[in-house]
Amino acid sequence: MIRNALRRFMYGRYGNDQLNVFLLVSYLVLYVTYSITGFDILYWLATVAMVACLFRMMSRNYSRRREENTKFMKKAGPVIQWFRLRRTIHKDKDHTYFKCPSCSQQLRVPKGKGKITVTCRSCGAVFQEKS
Ligand SMILES: [Zn+2]
């Protein structure tokens, strides 16, 4: 019932994207920091982030919202990728991760094989790496 009402309400509206998730997380971080420090400016910034997030979700202007998200992802994409890679490396205990010295391609080899010769799959460079 409520779900249907919400679906009807959200019909034709933009909904969620990465920029909105970022705004929501910003809101939470700012609000928590505000409740610890008591700096009024943080409260207002948190409110602005929340209002922007809601406005974008409710918006019917798809092309503008998509454009904003594309701009955001151009800037935030590499940062998000970096965090994802850290998480993968942290979880994956069976491989050693490193970058190719000639093309910077991210590579991995099985751990505990000692010194090995690596051939980069992307540029074909051959080099020694400890695993
Ligand atoms: Zn390479």
pLDDT of 130: 87
State the distance from the centre of ligand 1 to the C-alpha of 95, rounded, in angstroms: 18
3-class state of residue 116 by DSSP: strand
Distances (CA, A) of 13 to 4, 16, 48, 58: 15, 9, 20, 5
User: Which pLDDT band, with edges at 50, 70 and 90, does 6 fall under?
Assistant: confident
Q: What percent of the chain has pLDDT over 90?
A: 85
Q: What is the mean pLDDT of residues 97-120?
A: 93
What would the two tokens of residue 85 be?
Answer: 């890679």
Please state, in angstroms and rounded to a whole number, the distance separating the CA atoms of residues 28 and 53. Answer: 12
Q: What is the mean pLDDT of residues 119-131?
A: 92
Which residue matches tokens 């922007």? 52
Q: What is the mean pLDDT of residues 100-115?
A: 92
Q: 54-92 burial string, b = 16+ CB within 10 Å, else e?
A: eebbeeeeeeebeebbeebeeeeeeeeeeeeeeeeeeee
Please state, in angstroms and rounded to a whole number, the distance separating the CA atoms of residues 61 and 68. Answer: 11
Q: Which residues contact 126 (CB under 8 A, 6 or more apart)?
A: 117, 118, 119, 120
3-class state of residue 118 by DSSP: strand
pTM: 0.70
With beta carbons less than 8 A apart as the criterion, state whether 98 and 111 touch.
no
State the distance from the centre of ligand 1 to the C-alpha of 80, rounded, in angstroms: 22
Question: In this predicted model, what pLDDT tens digit does every residue of 36-50 receive, in sequence order?
Answer: 999 999 999 999 999
Q: Is the pLDDT score of 35 beyond 90?
A: yes
User: Which pLDDT band, with edges at 50, 70 and 90, does 67 fall under?
Assistant: very high
Q: What is the mean pLDDT of residues 68-91?
A: 94
3-class state of residue 14 by DSSP: coil
State the distance from the centre of ligand 1 to the C-alpha of 72, rounded, in angstroms: 29
State the distance from the centre of ligand 1 to the C-alpha of 51, rounded, in angstroms: 45
State the distance from the centre of ligand 1 to the C-alpha of 55, rounded, in angstroms: 44
